[in-house]
Amino acid sequence: MYATQALTHLVPLAEELDKNKVTPGVLGFIVFAALAVGVWLLMKSMNRHMGKVDFEEAPDEPEASAGAKGAAEPAGSAKRK
């Protein structure tokens, strides 16, 4: 009997709500929470995969060979066809 008495007290509160107001409700919250969990899992997976990457830059060409190529052409000249 206590449950029905509690519900009768809540009925007037429900009538005060604006019936023209649209809200996302529980389904909207569940969808938003599922998207948030999915993004969190994707970020966690991405961090794990990025940790496995072993990136090393290719070494620069030796300056001696670059200097030899640069000495053959005057500075600022462009090749013409």
- pTM for this entry: 0.45
Which residues of the chain carry a pLDDT beneath 50?
Answer: none
- DSSP letters, 11-80, are HHHHHTS-TT----HHHHHHHHHHHHHHHHHHHHHHHHHHHH----PPPPPPHHHHHHHHHHS-TT----
